[in-house]
Chain A
Amino acid sequence: MSAATDLPAAPTRWRIFARGKGAIAGAAILVVLLLLALAGSVVAPFDPDKVGAGATMAMPGGTHWMGTDELGRDVFSRILIGIKVSLLVGLGAAAVSTGLGVVVGGVAGFSGGLIDDALMRITEVFQVIPRFFLAVLLVAFFGASIVNIIAAIAILSWPEVARIVRAEFLSLRSRQFVDAARVAGASVGTLIFVEILPNALGPVVVNATLQVGQAMLLEAGLSYLGLGDPSQISLGLMLHQAQQIMRAAWWTTAFPGAMIFLAVLSLNLVGDGLNDVLNPRSRGR
């Protein structure tokens, strides 16, 4: 039996993540965005709601880095708040939909049989409805508050998570290491949460990251159509309000749009990086 002395040292998770240049760039952008969201109200040079903080529709310049809108509000200050609100919606919706999807998909995949059949038919009902129109309907019906928007987006997104988790559980539950744990005396809870779920988590975490981006886009879409929460400055709401003056003052749409783009891009890059880390086969390379 040859000794294991020549085995390569296991690369740390961080090193695998850091191998992807895109993942590092994405993480950097995301960290900056998160810091801006957290510190937004402190570092904002103006009160984001203050009308006439500068001239109306002033070009970006020294005082107003990203110009002002048609009411003379400082676009940069508003973007700082907008990032926070949009990220909040994105993270909230992704968290709720992932939680719901993991529970439904996990139970369906682990149980199999009739429970699986029943849960999957319910999931499909949610899946066949065109997402955006149902979101419009839900928000129009229940009112455009942040919580309702998060709930509407989460209700539309969980079937995807449920299907991913179910597929993972279906293939993992018949793996021999799960049987081995059973024979070791593990309880059902241990089987689900210690043996199976960590192995299913890779695609779930990656999907959750992408869902944050998707939720932000969905929220921007809703807000752009005027279905956002009017009391919360989100990036989408800024786009909505700038519709009329888009040609005269490009900066009122370009900067919020660029922020949405950066946020979604960075989330996708981080998602890819996480995929490399959480896929155990990529560790040994």
Chain B
Amino acid sequence: MSALLEVRDLQVHFPIGARLLRPPAGVVRAVDGVSLSIAEGEVLAVVGESGCGKTTLARAVLGLTKPTGGVIRFRGGDVALQSTAERNAYYRQVQMVFQDPFDSLNPRKTVLQTLAQPLRIHSIVPAGEFRAEATRLLELVGLSPAALYLDRYPHQFSGGQRQRICIARALAVRPSLIVADEPVSALDISIRAQILTLLRRLQQELGLSYLFITHDLGVVRSLCDRVVVMYLGRVVEEGRTEDIFAGPRHPYTNALLAACPLPDPVRARARKRATLTGDVPSPVNPPSGCRFHPRCPVAREICGRDEPAAREFGPGHRSACHFAAEADTWERPAWQLAVTAE
């Protein structure tokens, strides 16, 4: 499997409280040694609670946040974003769709101006063809007739329409990888499905890869090939989507799956909830040993002492838990068994 994007031991630490003539008061370990890879045409989900570092990971992959350690490789080459030429070469290939469509379009630019920016910077088409190319992009994302959109400002559109415009902008440079940071979480539930359908269609038609950041496991199941589960800046489990859903090997993944809402009320009532208690601990001062142990339902003494290494349980299915081998004995939400049976 040749990796399109490879991230190895990525670290993003933020010093906090540093001011003029005052040293930092601490360090936020937002991303603390994350490795993952995405194959050509693959959709990889990164899942986790708020504050687990998944957005920071996405931003670091795009060079919007400077990593403090680790390596990012794209098509085998180290990603260096020092010079304008290096940045442009990278952004030709890797694009981003942001979380909030109400914040990610410049309110003072028309749709045409927004779409023309990447076309101009990367000389995708000659200047005379910006309008035609923008029209093609808008129609590609389901906004037609495009003439109705091109000369309007973002505030005249709904969230779903804006997110389609953002997707069109990301597609303008004809990238091979799109990093999508919770692209549907700011949208109405009815619009979500439309945008997800659009993303799936584009992925298939254009052969795109996605790094899909989300906290919504329902989205993962419908769209993603593989899943990486993050907790407090670390990867706790990763594997193919069906393996993760059928048999999670980490108690955190198990709890996340249990917290996922069920569309069927009969099954929803029947299931037992392995609810997590407490909040995500501070990434300034992460717990010793396994970072999940203070909230873990199966934690024992060793968990507070030794940090578990990731072990493999089947092809590409890795879990960083001391007791991953006992996963079959954990309390499983009833619906999961139903999923397995399906």
Q: Which residues of A contact B (CB under 8 A)?
A: 1, 3-5, 7-8, 10, 113-114, 117-118, 121, 175-177, 179-187, 195, 198-199, 280-281, 283-284
Query: Is B108 within 8 A of A185, CB to CB?
Result: no
Q: Is B75 an interface residue (CB 8 A)?
A: no
Query: Is B98 within 8 A of A176, CB to CB?
Result: yes
Query: Is A183 within 8 A of B106, CB to CB?
Result: no
Query: Is A180 within 8 A of B142, CB to CB?
Result: no
Closest 10 CB pairs of A and B: A176-B104, A117-B20, A185-B121, A184-B118, A176-B98, A4-B148, A176-B103, A177-B106, A280-B107, A198-B108
The residues of B that contact A182 with a CB separation of less than 8 Å are: 64
> Which of B87-95, B277-285, B288-296 is near enough to bind chain A?
B87-95
Bound: A182/B100 CA distance, A? 16
Q: Which of A8, A183, A187 contacts B64 (CB 8 A)?
A: A183
The residues of B that contact A5 with a CB separation of less than 8 Å are: 148
Bound: A199/B19 CA distance, A? 28
Q: Is B99 an interface residue (CB 8 A)?
A: yes
- Mostly, the A contact residues are helix
Those of B45-85 within 8 Å (CB) of chain A: 59, 62, 64, 84
Interface string of B108-151 (1 = CB under 8 A from A): 10000000011001100000000000000000001101001100
A-B contacts, 9 listed (Cβ < 8 Å): A3-B145, A179-B59, A180-B96, A180-B169, A181-B106, A186-B121, A199-B106, A280-B155, A284-B155
Q: Which of B19, B108, B143 contacts A280 (CB 8 A)?
A: B108
Q: Write the nearest CB–CB distance from A116 to chain B, whole angstroms.
A: 9
Bound: A175/B117 CA distance, A? 17
Q: Write the nearest CB–CB distance from B125 to chain A, whole angstroms.
A: 15
Q: Write the nearest CB–CB distance from A2 to chain B, whole angstroms.
A: 9
Given the known inter-chain contacts A176-B100, A199-B107, A280-B155, please indicate yes or no for A183 contacting B121, CB distance below 8 A: no
Q: Write the nearest CB–CB distance from B234 to chain A, whole angstroms.
A: 25
Q: Which of A1, A4, A175, A183 contacts B194 (CB 8 A)?
A: A1
Q: Write the nearest CB–CB distance from B301 to chain A, whole angstroms.
A: 43
Given the known inter-chain contacts A114-B20, A175-B103, A176-B100, please indicate yes or no for A10 contacting B152, CB distance below 8 A: yes
Chain A residue with the shortest CB-CB distance to B59: A179
Query: Is B121 within 8 A of A180, CB to CB?
Result: no
Bound: A195/B106 CA distance, A? 7
The residues of B that contact A118 with a CB separation of less than 8 Å are: 20
Query: Is B98 within 8 A of A185, CB to CB?
Result: no
Chain B residue with the shortest CB-CB distance to A7: B156
Query: Is B155 within 8 A of A281, CB to CB?
Result: yes
Given the known inter-chain contacts A185-B118, A283-B153, please indicate yes or no for A3 contacting B20, CB distance below 8 A: no
Query: Is B155 within 8 A of A4, CB to CB?
Result: no
Given the known inter-chain contacts A4-B157, A281-B155, A283-B153, please indicate yes or no for A177 contacting B103, CB distance below 8 A: yes
The residues of A that contact B169 with a CB separation of less than 8 Å are: 180, 184
Query: Is A176 within 8 A of B121, CB to CB?
Result: no
The residues of B that contact A281 with a CB separation of less than 8 Å are: 155
Interface string of B304-325 (1 = CB under 8 A from A): 0000000000000000000000
The residues of B that contact A113 with a CB separation of less than 8 Å are: 18
Chain B residue with the shortest CB-CB distance to A115: B20
Query: Is B117 within 8 A of A184, CB to CB?
Result: yes
Residues of B within 8 A of A (CB-CB), count: 43
Select the residue from A177, A183, A186 with max chain B CB neighbours within 10 A: A183
Q: Write the nearest CB–CB distance from B24 to chain A, whole angstroms.
A: 12
The residues of A that contact B87 with a CB separation of less than 8 Å are: 185
The residues of A that contact B173 with a CB separation of less than 8 Å are: 184
Q: Which of A186, A198, A199 contacts B117 (CB 8 A)?
A: A186
Q: Is B166 an interface residue (CB 8 A)?
A: yes
Chain B residue with the shortest CB-CB distance to A280: B107
Q: Write the nearest CB–CB distance from B185 to chain A, whole angstroms.
A: 13
Query: Is B156 within 8 A of A180, CB to CB?
Result: no
Q: Write the nearest CB–CB distance from B316 to chain A, whole angstroms.
A: 29
Given the known inter-chain contacts A184-B169, A186-B117, please indicate yes or no for A8 contacting B108, CB distance below 8 A: no
Bound: A237/B87 CA distance, A? 59
Query: Is B121 within 8 A of A7, CB to CB?
Result: no
The residues of A that contact B104 with a CB separation of less than 8 Å are: 175-177, 179-180
Q: Which of B18, B19, B107, B156 contacts A10 (CB 8 A)?
A: B156
- Known pairs A4-B161, A117-B19, A184-B172. 5 more at Cβ < 8 A? A3-B145, A177-B105, A181-B106, A183-B96, A195-B106
Query: Is B121 within 8 A of A1, CB to CB?
Result: no
Q: Write the nearest CB–CB distance from A131 to chain B, whole angstroms.
A: 26
Bound: A176/B165 CA distance, A? 14
Q: Write the nearest CB–CB distance from B139 to chain A, whole angstroms.
A: 11
Bound: A10/B161 CA distance, A? 17
Query: Is B117 within 8 A of A283, CB to CB?
Result: no
Bound: A113/B18 CA distance, A? 8
Q: Which of A121, A183, A284 contacts B156 (CB 8 A)?
A: A284
Those of B140-194 within 8 Å (CB) of chain A: 142-143, 145, 148-149, 152-153, 155-157, 160-161, 166, 169, 172-173, 194
Query: Is A183 within 8 A of B95, CB to CB?
Result: yes
Q: Which of B62, B105, B148 contacts A183 (CB 8 A)?
A: B62
Query: Is A176 within 8 A of B99, CB to CB?
Result: yes
The residues of A that contact B96 with a CB separation of less than 8 Å are: 179-180, 183
Query: Is A1 within 8 A of B142, CB to CB?
Result: yes
Chain A residue with the shortest CB-CB distance to B172: A184
The residues of A that contact B108 with a CB separation of less than 8 Å are: 198-199, 280
Chain A residue with the shortest CB-CB distance to B110: A10
